[in-house]
Amino acid sequence: MKISERLEKLPPYLFAQIDKKIDDAKKRGIDIISLGIGDPDKPTLTNIVDKMAKAITEPKNHDYPPYQGTSDFRKASADWMKKRFDVELDYDNEVLALIGSKEGLAHVFFAFVDRDDIVLVPDPGYPVYKNATILAGGYAYNMPLLKENKFLPDFDKIPEDIAKKAKLMFLNYPNNPTGAVATLDFYKKAVEFAKKYDILICNDQAYCEMTYDNYKAPSILQVEGAKDIAIEFYSHSKSYNMTGWRLGFACGNKEAINALGIIKNNIDSGVFKAIQEAGIEAYNTPSEEIEKLNKMYQKRRDVAQSCLAELGWEIEPTLGTFYLWLPTPNKMSSSAFCEMVIEKTGVVLVPGLGYGQNGEGYFRIALTKEEDVLKEAFKRLKEANIRFQ
């Protein structure tokens, strides 16, 4: 039995590797504090669970769902986009339900990328962008996200011959893993660049509602003419603590949405209708509940940054996501540093190299633990004399 060449080209999936390291450490009796995977530690909001409990008992929800999502869910998603960003969408043609945004991101490649086509991917970036490019037979061209450019890609640095051949470009702000944020002016530049070279922008908005210090993330679809060349991917996972539910939606350019829908029609059978009803209820969550979650993460951010400052790390407060992106001490490799930390302290961090070559020399912290646990984690680093020097 021989696996396909495309699988042989794939690097090991980062979080599967982290899970293995955690298991190995536990077998050796190490007490683990995982600040690795970005999975909210609080339960799904009560109003959503209550809606699901009712919807799951209704026989009308037990048959196959519409492939593109129920009209009620698509309309509610379009209404949310109007309320949140003042973006008008035709829910019949410009909105598509997803089994989580990761699924949509992975499948969009098969709608647009042929063998050796170029895809512009952020580096460091969410591993799916590059890995799905490989699975589709394309070539991932890295757009470096550098500290000196506030972890935004510099479109002027992309060679013209690459830009002319590119089919897709992926953006993601608030950004995983760096926590960087973008402005509407940045999106205007992205739209101009994409129109010039006929590139479809895929804007990953998984963290758009997880923002702090009065920052509000914009939508690329707020830019005039963006719908000509852009689609956005939204997720219920982080905003409503629904990571296990697998629900999201894509919206924007109707030709791109239709193409993605054709791929999905041939691969999956849509989202369980009861989950879509719960997803509609999520949009009705009082804004105070979302603000309460964001204040909790903001407080954790402040606690973490205070503890890290005592250890020599000076970083600007992140305005979005629940991640901190930090340089390793003494220019140590990210993998070696994270392995040392778990061996000496039992604290799990994510090596930046797992997000791309420009992630080397960095590591990521997920603020998905209570404040006292975060303090304990940094106390362990202090006791092990792990500092930024």
* Beta-sheet strand order (sheet of 350-351): 323-327, 362-366, 350-351
Distance between CA atoms of 301 and 322, rounded to whole angstroms? 8
Q: Going along 224-279, which residue ranges are E strands?
A: 230-235, 248-252
For position 15, what pLDDT does the model report?
67
Q: Which residue has the tokens 């009065």?
A: 214
Q: Is pLDDT at 321 greater than 90 in this prediction? A: yes
The 10s digit of each residue's pLDDT in 34-57 is 999 899 999 999 999 999 999 999
Q: Is pLDDT at 16 greater than 80 in this prediction? A: no
Mean pLDDT of 2-8: 85
Q: Going along 63-154, which residue ranges are E strands?
A: 95-98, 118-123, 139-144
The 10s digit of each residue's pLDDT in 72-119 is 999 999 999 999 999 999 999 999 999 999 999 999 999 999 999 999
Distance between CA atoms of 302 and 48, rounded to whole angstroms? 29
| Segments making up each domain of the chain, as ranges | 5-43+288-383, 60-283
For position 3, what pLDDT does the model report?
87
Give the β-pairing of 166-172 and 248-252.
unpaired
∠ Cα 179 180 184 (to 5°)? 135
For position 9, what pLDDT does the model report?
85
For position 21, what pLDDT does the model report?
76
**Structural domain 60-283, CATH architecture:** 3-Layer(aba) Sandwich (3.40)
> Considering the chain, what is the average pLDDT of its residues?
95
For position 28, what pLDDT does the model report?
83
The 10s digit of each residue's pLDDT in 130-163 is 999 999 999 999 999 999 999 999 999 999 999 9
- Least confident stretch, 5-14, 46-55, 256-265, 297-306: 5-14
Q: What's the pTM?
A: 0.95
Question: For 5-43+288-383, which CATH class?
Answer: alpha beta
For position 265, what pLDDT does the model report?
96
For position 103, what pLDDT does the model report?
97
pLDDT band at residue 27, thresholds of 50, 70 and 90?
A: confident
Distance between CA atoms of 247 and 3, rounded to whole angstroms? 31
Query: Which element (helix H / strand E) includes 323?
Result: strand 323-327
Q: How crowded is residue 5: how many other Cβ atoms within 10 Å of its Cβ?
A: 9
Give the β-pairing of 118-123 and 362-366.
unpaired
Assigned token pair, 89: 């969408």
The 10s digit of each residue's pLDDT in 323-368 is 999 999 999 999 999 999 999 999 999 999 999 999 999 999 999 9
pLDDT band at residue 203, thresholds of 50, 70 and 90?
A: very high
Q: How crowded is residue 326: how many other Cβ atoms within 10 Å of its Cβ?
A: 21
Nearest residue to 240 (alpha-carbon basis) of 175, 286, 204, 176? 286
